[in-house]
Amino acid sequence: MEKVREIVREGRRVAKEDPRRVVHSFKVGLVLALVSSFYYYQPLYDSFGVNAMWAVMTVVVVFEFSVGATLGKGLNRVAATLFAGGLGIGAHHLASMSGPTGEPILLAIFVFVQAALSTFVRFFPRVKARYDYSLLIFILTFALISVSGFREEQVVMLTHKRISTVIIGGLSCVLISIFVCPVWAGQDLHSLLASNFEKLSFFLLDFGDKYCEVVENDDTKEVDKRKKDFDNYKSVLNSKSNEESLANFAKWEPGHGQFRFRHPWKQYLAVGELIRQCAYRIHTLNSSYLNADNKVSIDIKKKLGEPLRRMSLESGKAMKEMSISLKKMTKPSSSDLHVQNARSASKSLTNLLNSGILKEVEPLELVSLLTAISLLIDIINLTEKILEALHELASAAKFKNKIEQPLFSEKQKAKSFVSLRSIKCHDEHVVTIIEDDGNNHDTSKNDNRSKEVSIHEKHEDGDTHVHARCVSCGHTIVCDVVECR
């Protein structure tokens, strides 16, 4: 009973973390129920016989969490089955032509050669990662067909039924995966990179304040809180394998949503690699300089605090803007300004260091401080490289330009529209009148109140005399300015 409760708790935890996994389990059950009808439904069983079991086996080994993974495995299995079936029929035909004496020897040679070649190819890491299962299917299908004791006509029939059931199973997986609550590997990769940007920005936005703040060495609560807050970036360090697998699966997927069929998934890997390099620097800053035993004196931190905070803050803002741009699939236009500001702060810090402000600093303290500054400058350089890579991705993926929100809506513009006109009054006065166009008036009770402000300044003779009178009624503003010389 306790194990049942544990299973229920684990199921709730998985459903809370990612509800799509629960949906995926129901999708697998649905596909298995469909292909099982070929075995349990008598008319279909009469057509395929025991070979209907291969459809069920195909579903078990092909159906994956994402559409791309299912498509990749399904196509590889079908291709391996077709290729192995053709070679098996050819090998069986050649062996049959050699007579009863040479047939066993020739079949044994065929099986040995193809098994040796397939096993040798599996030693290549990239081939093994992508086609390991397909090679296994190839060996199994070739061996079963080529060494079969049936006559040639029966071998062809066996191959036809085997391939048909495999295609039926694979096609069922693909259709259910695409049309029933699809999970797109490309969308997951896109969201993963945006999340990685956000995790790094969280650290950089607070690093300057955390590094320069006054914290006593025995303040363990503050240290524990700091470690907990900054642990989010650590998942970025080990995201390479996940990104590569998602990019590989995304290549198989058809166009969906804002992602075209030939979406530049390789560029995502380039951006992800630069993000990880930046995360390594951040990890060093966090572990070696925020939580280090050798602390830099408070006086030195106060002197260098302002440029350090600006460098970290502007880099974090750039990362945050890049995360938002990637989520919305818009070009990261505002991130350039933050990178320039971080560069400017870096130059200010360099000038401050060149002024000899660190002459009285202890050697060990100086090494620690300069190393932290060097890492922060390196992060700024990487932020700029990441921004360039993201610009290339935005161009290749045809991201939209960021739409700037207008300062005023059309209604506000109509209400606040004013006109300016100047009138000469006699030969000594100039009257400037600013007034509303009068086309938009709110009939509400509050806006009908009239307000009048009069200003009169008088100076010594020879100076300018200013007479101003402004009247406000509703949304209409009239100002008369008279200058007398």
The domain that contains 383 carries what CATH number?
1.20.58.220
Residue 462 has pLDDT above 50, yes or no: no
Query: 231 with 348, same domain?
Result: yes
For 189-200, write each residue's pLDDT tens digit: 999 999 999 999
Helix (H, G, I), strand (E, B) or coil at 26: helix
Residue 55 has pLDDT above 90, yes or no: no
- pLDDT classification of 65: cutoffs 50, 70, 90: very high
For 242-275, write each residue's pLDDT tens digit: 999 999 999 989 888 888 888 999 999 999 999 9
Average pLDDT estimate for 112-136: 63
What's the CA gap between 422 and 432, in Å, rounded?
Answer: 4
Q: What is the pLDDT of residue 243?
A: 94
Query: 239 with 336, same domain?
Result: yes
Query: 200 with 129, same domain?
Result: no
Residue 428 has pLDDT above 80, yes or no: no
Query: 175 with 200, same domain?
Result: no
Domain of residue 124 covers 2-179
Q: Confirm whether 261 is domain-assigned.
A: yes
Q: Confirm whether 146 is domain-assigned.
A: yes
Q: Which of 179, 196, 218 is the last residue of a domain?
A: 179
Average pLDDT estimate for 160-187: 90
Strand partners, 471: 452, 478
Nearest to 55 by CA among 43, 37, 67: 37
Give the list of residues 6+ apart from residue 78 with CB closer than 8 angstroms, or none. Answer: 163, 166, 167, 170
The count of domains in the chain is: 3
Q: Which of 42-46, 213-217, 303-307, 335-339 has the lowest mean pLDDT?
A: 213-217
Q: Which residue has the higher pLDDT, 14 or 279?
A: 279
Q: Which of 179, 213, 241 is the last residue of a domain?
A: 179
Query: 131 with 35, same domain?
Result: yes
For residue 26, what are its two tokens? Answer: 């129901």
Q: Which residue has the higher pLDDT, 10 or 414?
A: 10
Query: 96 with 165, same domain?
Result: yes
Sheet-wide strand order for 450-457: 418-425, 429-436, 476-484, 465-473, 450-457
What's the CA gap between 353 and 387, in Å, rounded?
Answer: 28
Q: Which of 146, 161, 179 is the last residue of a domain?
A: 179
Amino acid at 330: T
Q: What is the pLDDT of residue 48?
A: 80
Average pLDDT estimate for 12-20: 84
Query: 378 with 447, same domain?
Result: no
For residue 14, what are its two tokens? Answer: 């998985």
- pLDDT classification of 337: cutoffs 50, 70, 90: very high
- pLDDT classification of 444: cutoffs 50, 70, 90: very low
Query: 291 with 381, same domain?
Result: yes
Q: Is 270 exposed, middle or buried (0-12, 13-18, 19+ CB in 10 A)?
A: middle
Q: Confirm whether 268 is domain-assigned.
A: yes
Query: 64 with 27, same domain?
Result: yes
- pLDDT classification of 379: cutoffs 50, 70, 90: very high
Query: 171 with 256, same domain?
Result: no
What's the CA gap between 246 and 418, in Å, rounded?
Answer: 57
Q: Confirm whether 404 is domain-assigned.
A: no
Q: Confirm whether 405 is domain-assigned.
A: no
Q: Confirm whether 402 is domain-assigned.
A: no
Query: 143 with 80, same domain?
Result: yes
Q: Which pTM was predicted?
A: 0.73
Average pLDDT estimate for 363-371: 82
What's the CA gap between 359 and 356, in Å, rounded?
Answer: 6
* H/E segment holding residue 384: helix 363-396
Query: 330 with 227, same domain?
Result: yes
Q: Confirm whether 401 is domain-assigned.
A: no
Residue 221 has pLDDT above 70, yes or no: no
Q: Confirm whether 403 is domain-assigned.
A: no
Q: What 8-state DSSP symbol labels residue 397?
A: T
Of the chain, the percentage scoring pLDDT greater than 90 comes to 30
